[in-house]
Amino acid sequence: MKKVTALSTGFCLLFVGSGIASAQDAMAPPKVLVIQREFLKPGKGGSLHAKTESAFVNAMAAAKWPVHYFGMDSLSGPSRSLFFTGYPSFEAWEKDSLAVQKNATLSAGIDRAIIADGDLLSAYEQSVTVLREDLSLRSSVEIAHMRYFEISQFSVRSGHEKDWEALVKMYMDGYGKIPEAHWAVFERVYGTASPGWSGSTFLVINPMKSLAEVDSGFGDSKKFMDSMSAADKKKLAELTAACIESSQTNLFAFNPKESYPADEWIKADPFWKPKAAATPAAKPAQ
């Protein structure tokens, strides 16, 4: 039962968020999500990294590029930044990549930005995930008004994907009764995996407006467990032990200075258009 409680808490922290999106502002998650991870050298984050990232943003803005992305900084785990670009299909991703290559000015700007940014990084990787709508719950949210992602990565043993699906659907049934609950599940199809790992990797993403949602999540986790029968708790424990090799959960904060948001996001929330730094006043003549 200790495993059940631990997993329940982890799922709850990820799966429960507040403020169900209104119909006009709700945005469904993309079918294909490209995630870039930049691991920062000690002391190279903050304003230093924001400055190098602004070169990418400026290059995209100058080209009036139609594909947008947003960046986040870690609040837990190794110092790193994540960048998310969504596409409706792999074909759309290909078309975007080819168009960037054909745009000499934009390509040159990105190349210069990569060189400057690279000096701050200890490692870099890119992965590609696909949305698992069948394992997601109320995944359309007012993403422009969110401030945090709580992301959990689950390593699922090879041959136990059906156990994983059954496990998640037990949570969907339970948390489906909580109106505020929402999450999106993505399955990694390309990208870095641990050496020797042959199983599947899933990301559970919960967008949050405030970290107060983490506090409320603990209470909802208890309600979820209390609502289950002894037989269901036993099944939950068995599925968990059978399919999950390992898991980890981390918090990330949106960073508008490292993002290239769509105009609709900027209009919806001024957070996405950070104010420029104030110019120091001139020193009076002596």
Residue 279 counted as domain residue: no
Residue 280 counted as domain residue: no
Residue 276 counted as domain residue: no
Q: What is the total count of domains within the chain?
A: 1
DSSP secondary structure letter of residue 271: G
Distance CA 161, CA 168 (A): 11
Residue 282 counted as domain residue: no
Residue 74 counted as domain residue: yes
Distance CA 99, CA 106 (A): 10
Residue corresponding to tokens 């210069």:
112
Strands 121-131 and 80-87: unpaired
Range of the domain at 165: 2-266
Q: Comparing C-alpha atoms, which of 34, 45, 35, 127 is closest to residue 78?
A: 45
pTM score above 0.75:
yes
Instruction: Return per-residue pLDDT of the chain as tens, 286 residues.
Output: 222 223 333 333 333 333 333 334 678 999 999 999 999 999 999 999 999 999 999 999 999 999 999 999 999 999 999 999 999 999 999 999 999 999 999 999 999 999 999 999 999 999 999 999 999 999 999 999 999 999 999 999 999 999 999 999 999 998 888 888 889 999 999 997 666 677 899 999 999 999 999 988 888 788 888 888 999 999 999 999 999 999 999 999 999 999 999 999 999 999 999 765 444 444 444 4
Strands 80-87 and 69-74: antiparallel
Residue 131 counted as domain residue: yes
Residue 232 counted as domain residue: yes
Domain of 184, CATH number, reads 3.30.70.100
Residue 271 counted as domain residue: no
Distance CA 74, CA 39 (A): 10
